[in-house]
Amino acid sequence: MSEYYVYAYLRKSDDTPYYIGKGKNKRAWSKNHGRVTVPTDESKIVMLRENLSEIEAHNEERRLIHQYGRKDLGNGILLNLTDGGDGASGRVLTEDSIYKMSEKAKIANATGKTGFSMGHGSAAGSVGGKSKSVSKLNAALSNLEKASALGTKWMYDSTNDKYHRVKPNLIDEKIKMGWIFKHRPAWNKGLS
């Protein structure tokens, strides 16, 4: 069945594409595109190919994303976070993104917020009939954001088999001691 299409969102300034997507029905006009802003001027939403099978749409989306390149990889002009043909499930996360998501989930679990989902859950609510403290969760998230702003990095000390968060001004010293940059696995309990 040929019900899919490939579309582009164009910049106001020069009509170059800033996002390439595939969809069917009203997908191109849907406001649910995460961090990508849907143009308010509908003339900036352009159908590039129509009446495609899903496989054809995946292939065309990949081809066009490759042609224009991705900003996050430094090789193009598009805001797409994947190479196309796979939707959000194909998004490749950085180690820092994975760490932040893991920390948010830990905070949510520690404060009793169940059903937590990255960027989609409600901050308020009750679980099992008991109201949970939103201020506790907000304070913990604020502390996580402050730590991230400091630019601390995970480093691994093989002499004692432990992972440590290291401030930028101490990184050179730790490298001289033989520490290496390494993302802490979620299962490791040897933290400092």
Q: What is the pLDDT of residues 33-68, one digit of tens each?
A: 778 999 999 999 999 999 999 889 989 999 999 999
Question: Highest mean pLDDT range out of 31-45, 103-117, 137-151, 155-169?
Answer: 31-45
Please state the pTM of the whole predicted model: 0.47
pLDDT of residue 99: 72
Between CA 101 and CA 151 the distance in angstroms is 16
Domain ranges within the chain, ordered by starting residue? 4-90, 95-181
**CB–CB of 24/49 below 8 Å?**
no
Q: Ranked by mean pLDDT, which of 22-36, 120-134, 146-160 comes out on top? A: 22-36
H-helix or E-strand spanning residue 52: strand 45-52
To the nearest 10 degrees (0 to 180), the angle between helices 95-110 and 134-149 is: 150
What's the pLDDT at 2? 72
Question: What are 49's strand-pairing partners?
Answer: 6
Q: Output the average pLDDT for the chain.
A: 73
3-state secondary structure of 85: coil
